[in-house]
Amino acid sequence: MELGAVFPTCEIGNDPTQIRDWAQAAEGLGYSYIVIYDHVLGAEHANREPALTGPYTQDHPFHEPFVLFAYLAAVTTSIEFETAVIIMPQRQTVLAAKQAAEVDVLSDGRLRLGVGTGWNYVEYESLSVDWDQRGRLLDEQINVMRELWSNDVVSIDTDFHRIDRAGIAPRPKESIPIWLGGSTEVAMRRAARLGDGFTFASAGTRTVEMADRLREIVSAANRDATSYPIEFNMPYGLGPEKWETLTSQAEDASITHLCVNTMSVTSEWAGTPPSGLDTPDDHIAGLERFMQIVR
């Protein structure tokens, strides 16, 4: 099972040297990949109808995934990069395909593109995207990006896209893996149809049950569920005893990837203990301690 480190985007600050040090520390400690979360905008939650149900507000900073990974590609050598997840329907498909291809080229094939539909309808509205069409749009986007990454010239004419004999360059050496993320039946069915893997934002018995359900859906889609990669996400604040228990549980369930999240920003919302880590150095020390316990 590969171990990943969630980039503490809301808590690490803006010092590029500290960001570099964190990424190099994760690589040096033996983590296989870095995960980054995505939001373009944060919104006030008060007096919204319908209510905003997610954990982030206008007070939570997010480093932009493609820009950040391009920077990290230059200061690391082998660690892989995963978006988990980037809110793809908010973004122009062709531009996102171009940006992802550039990161993959500059990192020598180290990008894994996790995508999802998100929860913040205010963000969609602000980016002039129809919230109600996000699922259908994402389905098309996955196919369009793969076409752009695999062919010099494409012609596409669908409900949401029109490309008339055009293509992007440079292109990745191979098509970039596209993973889906979420916890709903809809997300799992989309992953079974279109995804190269799936990421859950949790770990534990309930998540193992969801992973088993995902494998059932993958098998029903006539795909090999035994080789279908699945990722769990573990809050650091659970502590060493839980780390060991949940890691063993994930391994027993044949989970292929497990990332640790050292941020505390969503602890209250998720009902998990805060990590107790504040500074970038604290987050690095947390990664070291986690690796010492679970490896």
Give me the residue spans of the domains in the chain.
Answer: 2-294
Residue 123 neighbours by CB under 8 Å, 6+ apart: 39, 40, 41, 43, 87, 90
Report whether 10 contacts 60 (CB < 8 A). Answer: yes
Q: For residue 127, how many other CB atoms are within 10 A of its CB?
A: 14
CATH class given for the domain over 2-294? alpha beta
Model pLDDT, residue 219: 98
235, 275 in Cβ contact below 8 A? yes
Tokens of 55: 């954990």
> Residue 280: what pLDDT?
97
DSSP character at residue 12: S
Q: Which region, left, alpha or beta, applies to residue 292 given φ > 0 means left and ψ of -120 to 50 means alpha? A: alpha
pLDDT at 242: 98
**How many CB atoms are closer than 10 A to CB 146?**
17
pLDDT number for residue 93: 98
Give 70's DSSP letter. H
Strands in 61-192 per DSSP E: 80-87, 111-116, 154-157, 162-166, 178-181
pTM of the full structure? 0.97
- Distance, in Å, from the CA atom of 275 to the CA atom of 243, rounded to the nearest integer, reads 13
pLDDT of residue 1: 98
Q: Tell me the C-alpha distance between 219 and 215, whole Å.
A: 6
By the 10 Å C-beta count (0-12 exposed, 13-18 middle, 19+ buried), 226 is classed as exposed
User: How many other C-beta atoms are found inside a 10 Å radius of the C-beta of residue 243?
Assistant: 20
Q: What is the pLDDT along the chain (295 residues), one digit of tens a residue?
A: 999 999 999 999 999 999 999 999 999 999 999 999 999 999 999 999 999 999 999 999 999 999 999 999 999 999 999 999 999 999 999 999 999 999 999 999 999 999 999 999 999 999 999 999 999 999 999 999 999 999 999 999 999 999 999 999 999 999 999 999 999 999 999 999 999 999 999 999 999 999 999 999 999 999 999 999 999 999 999 999 999 999 999 999 999 999 999 999 999 999 999 999 999 999 999 999 999 999 9
* Structural tokens at position 14: 């803006």
pLDDT recorded at residue 32: 98
Burial tier of 128 (Cβ tally within 10 Å: 0-12, 13-18, 19+): exposed
DSSP 194-222: H-S-EE-S--SHHHHHHHHHHHHHHHHTT
